[in-house]
């Protein structure tokens, strides 16, 4: 009479219960987690570098750029390697009588150009040529402030003359305490409205 077959114990089942995870499974899970954390850390470092040296996100505070930009819009800025150009929407940070916070304005003229404002015809001239102001929401009128009565400026090299698109409600380079702004105070060019999503899109 033959003896009953003895159960064969496999190496991976010895000394472990049915519900206990295998050592190699635990090691694999830990390795996957470490790899994922490495990738996440690398991505965060890249994002920090990009937003420190190449781009920024900044919010609009106020109504001086309506209708192009609205109060509390969140903007993506191009920073590194940017040289201000006529027509660009920029963020600059230079304290003057109205505010010490960053402001969003449009570059009307750059260094070496001249600006003349004719309030009778609601026209801004740069080097004798009228500026395309199709983005304006209403005709420009003479400011009531005694510190915004200038009509002619010669822009020094390395500076910009800026105005808000809502020219009847904007403190800008027309303000005596600001005037033309040195390029070093320009934080960057506003490229895109990121938020709210209803305003999402490129800035012109």
Active-site residues: which are they?
64, 105
**Domain count within the chain:** 1
Dihedral angle, C-alpha 201, 94, 151, 89, nearest 10 °: -10
Predicted confidence at residue 170, as pLDDT, reads 96
Q: Which of 112, 115, 165 minimizes the C-alpha distance to 138?
A: 165
Judge whether 29 lies within some domain. no
- For 72-100, how does the pLDDT look when each residue is reduced to its tens digit (9 = 90+)? 999 999 998 899 999 999 999 999 998 99
Residue pair 67/167 in contact by the 8 Å Cβ criterion: no
Q: Which of 109, 117, 113, 108 minimizes the C-alpha distance to 143?
A: 117
- For 34-45, how does the pLDDT look when each residue is reduced to its tens digit (9 = 90+)? 777 776 665 555
Q: Is the pLDDT of residue 32 over 50?
A: yes
Judge whether 36 lies within some domain. no
Alpha helices in the chain (DSSP H): 23-49
Query: What is d(CA 189, CA 29) in angstroms, rounded to the nearest whole number?
Result: 45
Q: Is the pLDDT of residue 165 over 60?
A: yes
Judge whether 93 lies within some domain. yes
Alpha-carbon radius of gyration of the chain: 30
Q: Is the pLDDT of residue 15 over 80?
A: no
Predicted model pTM: 0.75
Q: Is the pLDDT of residue 31 over 90?
A: no
> Could you tell me which residue, 25 or 93, shows the higher pLDDT?
93
Judge whether 7 lies within some domain. no
Tell me the CATH number at 138.
2.10.109.10
Judge whether 22 lies within some domain. no
Please give the residue range of the domain that contains residue 166: 57-202
Predicted confidence at residue 130, as pLDDT, reads 97
Residue in the structure block whose two tokens are 């750029």: 65
In angstroms, how far apart are the furthest CA atoms of the chain? Answer: 121
Judge whether 41 lies within some domain. no
Judge whether 40 lies within some domain. no
Judge whether 30 lies within some domain. no
Q: Mean pLDDT over all residues of the chain?
A: 85
């Amino acid at each position: 009479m033959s003896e009953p077959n003895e159960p064969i114990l496999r190496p991976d089942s010895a000394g472990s219960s049915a519900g206990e995870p295998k050592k190699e499974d635990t090691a694999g899970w830990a390795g996957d987690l470490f790899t994922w954390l490495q990738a996440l850390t690398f991505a965060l470092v890249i994002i920090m570098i990009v937003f420190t040296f190449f781009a920024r996100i900044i919010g609009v505070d106020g109504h001086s750029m309506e209708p192009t930009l609205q109060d509390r819009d969140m903007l993506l800025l191009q920073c590194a390697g940017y040289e201000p150009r006529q027509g660009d929407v920029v963020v600059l940070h230079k304290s003057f009588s109205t505010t010490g916070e960053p402001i969003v304005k449009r570059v009307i003229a750059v260094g070496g150009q001249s600006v003349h404002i004719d309030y009778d015809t609601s026209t801004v001239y740069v080097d004798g040529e009228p500026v395309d102001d199709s983005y304006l929401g209403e005709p420009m009128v003479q400011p009531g402030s005694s510190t915004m009565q200038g009509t002619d400026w010669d822009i020094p090299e390395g500076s910009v003359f800026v105005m808000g698109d809502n020219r009847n409600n904007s403190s800008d380079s027309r303000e005596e305490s600001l005037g033309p702004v040195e390029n070093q105070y320009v934080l960057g060019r506003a490229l895109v409205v990121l938020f709210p999503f209803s305003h999402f899109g490129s800035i012109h």
